[in-house]
Chains A and B, each alone.
Chain A
Amino acid sequence: MRKPLGGLLSAPPAIVAAGVEVFSAAARAQGADVTDVEWRPPGFGNPDDLTQLALDPRRAAANRTAVERVLAAGSVLVDVRPAREVLDLPDRMLLHSGPPLTWATASGPMRGALMGACIFEGWASDPAGAERVLAAGEIALDPCHHHRTVGPMAGVTSPSMWTWCLEDPVHGGRAFCNLNEGLGKVLRMGAFNEEVQTRLAWMRDVLGPVLQRAVRSRTEPMDVKAILAQMLQMGDEGHNRNRAGSLMALRELSPSIVEVDAPAKDVAAVLRFIGGNEHFYLNLGMPTAKLAMDAAREVPGSTMVTALARNGTDFGVRTAGTGDRWFTAPADTPVGLFLGDYGPEDANPDIGDSAIMETYGVGGFSMAAAPAIVRFVGGTVPDALATTERMYQLTLAENPAMQIPVLGFRGAPTGIDVVKVARTGWLPQINTGMAGRVAGTGQVGAGLVQPPQACFEQALAALAGESRAAE
């Protein structure tokens, strides 16, 4: 016969205690195995809202459904195509990172990237002209996230840019991301000068077509999720450190690239470009995470976060239970290390869709896999481990595919629960690059940042409202 109450009556129970210490002390004195919760009042949120969600009978199952979809999602590279062909981009529209934005509220690097894209597309011949068409509202702006797309930093994606086309073979979803330009003076960091334009043109005319033919020539599509899983065992966390992943992608793609019928100097330039870019893989990792999070995009009753995204002005959060609605608040500025003699005063507020990596449980959440990253804020290896340990308390599951060796191959903490964020008062940890705040500057550093608490306050209140409405 099954033991009643899960065996509670069969042997002295292990006690887990939250609250007054005298009770756990008395139980301990009797030889009980006692774990004390370091309980404190919720970091934020109306207690009635937290209670409403705690008692919502849909929540446990909805969160399980949502996170299981995230864990099950796969990601394979099926094509490389110009954005105009795949993204349903009307003429004279630019995509950008983060929640919705207007030219008037756009930050320096976002403006720089938008201007650079106008020049690249031939919609303006110089920066002043680009500024004019953008300020006049002649160019429509729309978030990447609204087009199944993600973009690092400014995330500006224009019709002529080539995009990775990824597919989730489990749920059938598709996701897109432009090609990574490398470091330094690059469009995504807000630079738009001649060097940037030259590189973008080469990517359009040489890199994109070569990659398309290479990817199309493969008999088996490249398994992008499998590379991410391996990276975590090689010192990358998949957001600020993509070295191993970039080299693995290069290893996977090189034979097909070499076989493309293109001038040897172009093939060599492509291989050199990929090999010289430590973040080449980031633009494959991000749509991989996007595919997984999109699989859980609409799950009524779920309090799981499906997107963390920044546009350089605002930080935006979406949840499975509230669908496509954004909860936004002014973005914070990252803390970290600076290139050359740039300093904190040069850094723009947090920018980019790349926090989709943290949404998926890698990046800052898997800091323990990449202890080097924690040095961005002068931290230590134990700090890296502690960061990941904290993130486990914010998340719904451990991803068995994404294992962290130093934690005994424990799965990455995956599926941020808005309720857990509120109750612990701990905000998600994000690893990020830093763009210069002045348009045209480019990258000034890299570091760590957290979302503003206000995004989660709004999300919590909205989820509680949705829960009441569903009663």
Chain B
Amino acid sequence: MSSSPEGPAGVRHVSLRRGVYADSVRLMQVSRDLGGRPGISAVLVAMATPLNLELAAGMGLAPDVGARPDELLIALRAAGDAELAAALAALDAALSAREGAGEARAVPARTIGAALSDLDAGSALAVISVPGPYAVAEVADAIAAGSSVLVFSDGVPVEHEVALKRAAHEAGVLVMGPDCGTAIVSGIALGFANVVRPGAVGLVAASGTGAQQVSCLLDAAGVGVSHVLGVGGRDLSAAVGGLATLDALAALDTDEGTERVLLVSKPPAPEVAAAVDAAAAQLSVPVRSAVLSVDSPDLTAAVEALLSDLGVDVPDWPCRPGTADASAPGAVLKGLYSGGTLADEAMLIATPVLGDIRSNTPLRPELDLGTDLAATGHVVVDFGDDALTVGRAHPMIDPTLRLDAIAGLAAGGEPAVLLLDVVLGYGADPDPAATVAPALQSAGLPVVVALIGTEADPQCWSRQADALAEAGAAVFASNSAATRYALSLIGDAE
């Protein structure tokens, strides 16, 4: 070893240690750490290989005596003896330090594909609610992995929906959606769905709230569902052609737990409806339609027909009488809906009685309200329509827009009967009556509520019904019953 004074305030240290070996990477790290200490101007801690001796010589820190490659060379230049001693102590500590071996930090999956690679993808279900422009890649991952997918995201162009559903068909999996808000798969409720009893009726639904209405009524009649397979609101459009509906029907046909199928949809493209009917007729499982149209405007009637197929008595659908037994003369219908299919059903039932109803989701294009939701006359507004949910949560979660509309109607002075839906279940407002009831009470107008839910829902149908009835509303478990009751209030006034 040599430690020699150097210059006015410097110490040069060069030593060799035998029987010490450390990996070159470790030693480079030690050298760097020592070099960062105050008062240390040059450091080389390395095995004394020819290359390292050359480096040491270049730094003016070559050992005086011959060194062997299995010796550890310690060469450094310090400002003074104290700094040198501290550096050598730090070196000893570093060389004897132990690292914890440690566990790999879990690296969470960034994509559906990565997450599915760790699972038995076949029996897994991917649930995708990322922003629309990015949803396609995640859905394609799931299809490629052999998983079915529920796509809650909206804003997916229809041509991409078609491409994904074709790929899913090829892969033997199902794409539910996009814009599919409701599903129950093997007992697991996803999105906006109700706590319904298990049973043997399978639903294929191009309509979320339609599926909720139907499954809740079946539950009230003591009949359970095997699965609710949502297919997305556009599936029965001409562009998509029922791709997922056909696959879902075929899947339920071979499902051991499904004995009957009910197909639920808002008004479809007629040629697609015909094709689906034709396909359904080929299946061994009986398929009944709850597809809304001018000729079959009533989901409750479809449920009742199914119950009769099953030999189950149609119960008295739950309801609570309201305080209003008539409305002011000349009253108009104001439908304020969060569920698009329920709004369609109300318009289909009410139009033959009232004549044309204007809407933001009209039955005919010329009845479009545009942006004037406060228009006079018979009006039904779907607050769940995409145009009204931009930048805000769905009205089943965020009631603000609808509460504002109720207050506006009350202030406007137009004689009216209010007809609205309140949807319970997973995903929905935990206590919708808490905000809706006070608004209805202060509105001072006759109110009819279609309350969609079950006793087992987190919000509990009876509890919500009682609170709404307390505020003066007439409450019905059936939307068609609610609509007819609202029409009767208007009719009584005329």
> Chain A interface (Cβ within 8 Å of chain B)?
1, 3-20, 22-24, 26-27, 30, 32, 35-42, 47, 50-51, 54-55, 57, 60, 183-184, 337-341, 368, 372-373, 375-376, 378, 380-382, 385-386, 389-390, 392-393, 407, 419-420, 423-426, 445-446
Could you say which residues of chain A place their CB within 8 Å of the CB of B125?
8, 13-16
- Report which residue of B107, B122, B186, B257 has the largest number of chain A beta carbons within 10 angstroms of its beta carbon: B107
B140 interfacial by beta-carbon distance below 8 Å: yes
For chain B, the bracket of interface size reads: 35 or more
Bound form: Cα–Cα A67–B486 in Å = 65
B134 contacts A14, C-beta separation under 8 Å: no
Check A6 against B172 for contact (C-beta < 8 Å).
yes
Describe B's contact surface by its main secondary structure. Answer: mixed
Which residue from chain B places its CB closest to the CB of A240 in the assembled complex?
A: B25
Q: Contacts A7-B123, A23-B190, A55-B163 known; A16 to B185 CB distance under 8 Å? A: no
Residues of B within 8 A of A7 (CB): 122-123
Residues A424 and B257 in contact, CB atoms below 8 Å apart: no
Question: Across the interface, do B28 and A445 meet the contact criterion of CB distance under 8 Å?
Answer: yes
Cβ proximity bits B413-432 to A, threshold 8 Å, 1 near / 0 not: 00000000000001100000
Within the assembled complex, what's the spacing in Å between the Cα atoms of A381 and B125? 35
Given contacts A372-B25, A389-B107, contact A4 B136 (CB under 8 A): no
CB contacts (< 8 Å) of A426 on chain B: these are 110
Verify if B152 is at the interface (C-beta below 8 Å from A): yes
State A419–B59 Cα separation when bound (angstroms).
48
Contact B109 A38 (CB under 8 A): yes
**Closest B residue, CB atoms, query A36:** B108
Within 8 A of A (CB), among B169-204: 172-174, 185-191
Contacting residues, chain B, for A385 (C-beta < 8 A)? 102-105
Residues of B within 8 A of A (CB): 23, 25-26, 28-29, 31-32, 35, 42-44, 51, 54-56, 58-59, 99-131, 133-134, 136-142, 144, 146-148, 152-153, 160, 163-164, 167, 172-174, 185-191, 226-227, 250-258, 426-427
- Top 8 A-B pairs, shortest CB-CB distance: A19-B129, A6-B122, A385-B104, A337-B28, A4-B251, A38-B108, A340-B55, A389-B107
Closest to B256 in A: A10
Docked Cα-Cα span, A184 to B50, in Å, equals: 10
B438 to chain A, nearest CB (A): 25
Contact status of A41 and B123, CB under 8 A, knowing A55-B163, A420-B113: no
Assess the A386–B104 pair: CB atoms within 8 A.
yes
Taking a contact as CB atoms under 8 Å apart, the answer to whether B110 and A40 are in contact is yes
Residues of A within 8 A of B172 (CB): 5-6
The reply to whether B28 and A55 form a contact with Cβ atoms under 8 Å apart is no
Query: Which of A3, A9, A38, A372 has the most chain B CB atoms closer than 10 A to its own CB?
Result: A9
**Given known contacts A8-B148, A32-B188, A57 and B167 CB-to-CB distance under 8 angstroms:** yes
CB pair A15 B26 closer than 8 Å: no
| B486 CB, min distance to chain A CBs, angstroms | 32
The reply to whether B147 and A16 contact each other, CB–CB distance below 8 Å, is yes
Complexed CA–CA distance, A392 and B164 (Å): 25
Least CB distance from A424 to B in Å reads 4
In the complex, chain B residues whose CB is within 8 Å of the CB of A380: 99-100, 102
A376 proximity list for chain B (CB < 8 A):
25, 28
Closest chain B residue, CB of each to CB of A278: B24
Instruction: Give complex CA distance A19, B127 in Å.
Output: 8
Docked complex Cα distance between A372 and B24 (Å): 9
Q: List, sorted by A's number, 5 A–B pairs whose CB atoms are closer than 8 Å.
A: A20-B152, A23-B191, A27-B190, A338-B32, A381-B99
Let me know if B140 and A55 touch, CB within 8 A: yes
* A184 touching B129 in the complex, CB below 8 Å, given contacts A14-B124, A37-B108, A382-B102: no
Are A16 and B110 interface neighbours, CB within 8 A?
A: no
Complex Cα distance, B111 from A337, in Å, reads 34
Q: How far is the CB of A282 from chain B (nearest CB, A)?
A: 15
Question: Distance (Å) between the CB of B62 and the closest chain A CB?
Answer: 12
Query: Nearest chain A CB to B343's CB is how many angstroms away?
Result: 24
Bound-state CA distance A375–B27 (Å) is: 10
B112 touches A16 (CB 8 A): yes
> Are B131 and A41 closer than 8 Å at their CB atoms?
yes
A86 and B201 alpha carbons, distance in the complex (Å): 73
The answer to whether B250 touches A4, judged by C-beta atoms less than 8 angstroms apart, is yes
Residues on the A chain within 8 Å of B26, using CB:
372, 375
Report Cα–Cα, A419/B141, bound state, in Å.
11
Query: Which applies to chain A's interface (DSSP): helix, strand, loop or mixed?
Result: mixed
A390–B109 Cα gap in the complex (Å)? 9
Q: A18 to chain B: which residues have CB within 8 Å?
A: 111-112, 115, 126-130, 138
CB distance from B426 to the nearest CB of A (A): 5
Q: 17 new A-B pairs (CB below 8 Å) besides A11-B186, A17-B127?
A: A4-B253, A5-B174, A8-B174, A10-B123, A12-B187, A13-B186, A15-B188, A15-B190, A16-B126, A18-B129, A36-B108, A37-B112, A38-B109, A385-B103, A420-B111, A424-B111, A426-B110
Known: A18-B127, A39-B111, A41-B131. A27 touches B104 (CB 8 A): no
State whether B107 touches A390 (Cβ < 8 A).
Answer: yes
**Which of the residues A41, A54, A390, A407 comes within 8 Å of B140, measured between beta carbons?**
A54
- Bound form: Cα–Cα A220–B300 in Å: 80
Q: Are B103 and A382 in contact (CB under 8 A)?
A: yes
Q: Are A35 and B133 in contact (CB under 8 A)?
A: no
Known: A4-B251, A4-B255, A9-B227. A423 touches B111 (CB 8 A): yes
The interface residues of chain A lying within 8 Å CB-to-CB of B108 are: 36-38
Complex contact A341–B257 (CB within 8 A): no
Question: Are the C-beta atoms of B25 and A337 separated by less than 8 Å?
Answer: yes
* Chain B, residue nearest A9 (CB): B255
Provide the bound-state CA to CA distance between A407 and B103, in Å: 11
Residues of chain A lying within 8 A (CB to CB) of residue B258: 9
Chain B residue nearest to A424 (CB atoms) is: B110
How far, in whole Å, are A24 and B190 apart by their CA atoms in the complex? 8
Q: How far is the CB of A425 from chain B (nearest CB, A)?
A: 8
Chain B residues near A381 (CB, 8 Å)? 99-102
Smallest Cβ-Cβ distance to B113: which chain A residue = A420
Question: Which residues of the other chain, B, contact A420 by a CB distance below 8 angstroms?
Answer: 111, 113
B105–A382 contact, CB under 8 A? yes
- A297 vs B138: C-alpha distance when bound (angstroms): 27
Q: How far is the CA of A392 from the CA of B113 in the complex (A)?
A: 11
Q: Which residue of A lies closest to B114 (CB)?
A: A393
Tell me whether A12 and B109 are in contact (CB under 8 A).
Answer: no
Q: How far apart are the CA atoms of A6 and B186 in the complex, in Å? A: 13
Chain B residue at minimum C-beta to C-beta distance from A443 = B51
Q: Which of B51, B99, B136, B189 is close to A54, meaning CB atoms less than 8 Å apart? A: B136
- Measured CA separation A385–B101 after assembly (Å): 11
B102–A30 CB distance below 8 A: no
Given contacts A5-B174, A26-B426, A375-B25, whether A55 and B160 have CB atoms under 8 Å apart is yes
Do the beta carbons of B110 and A38 come within 8 Å of each other? Answer: yes
User: In the complex the two chains form, is A386's CB within 8 Å of B140's CB?
Assistant: no
* B152 and A23 form a contact (CB under 8 A): yes
Residue of B35, B110, B129 most packed against chain A (CB within 10 A): B110
Q: Which of A40, A54, A368, A407 contacts B137 (CB 8 A)?
A: A54
Q: Which residues of B contact A38 (CB under 8 A)?
A: 108-110
**Chain A CB within 10 A, most for which of B102, B153, B163:** B102
Asked if A4 contacts B188 (CB within 8 A), the reply is: no
Q: Smallest distance from the beta carbon of B175 to chain A beta carbons, Å?
A: 11
Chain B residues in 8 Å Cβ range of A36: 108
**Residues of B close to A26: CB separation below 8 A:** 189-190, 426-427
Residue of B nearest to A390 (CB): B107
Q: Are B104 and A55 in contact (CB under 8 A)?
A: no
Asked if residues B427 and A5 are in contact (CB atoms below 8 Å), the reply is: no
Q: Which of A1, A3, A41, A392 contacts B134 (CB 8 A)?
A: A41
Contacts of A419 in B (CB 8 A): 137
Most A CB contacts (10 A, CB to CB) among B99, B102, B118, B188 go to: B188
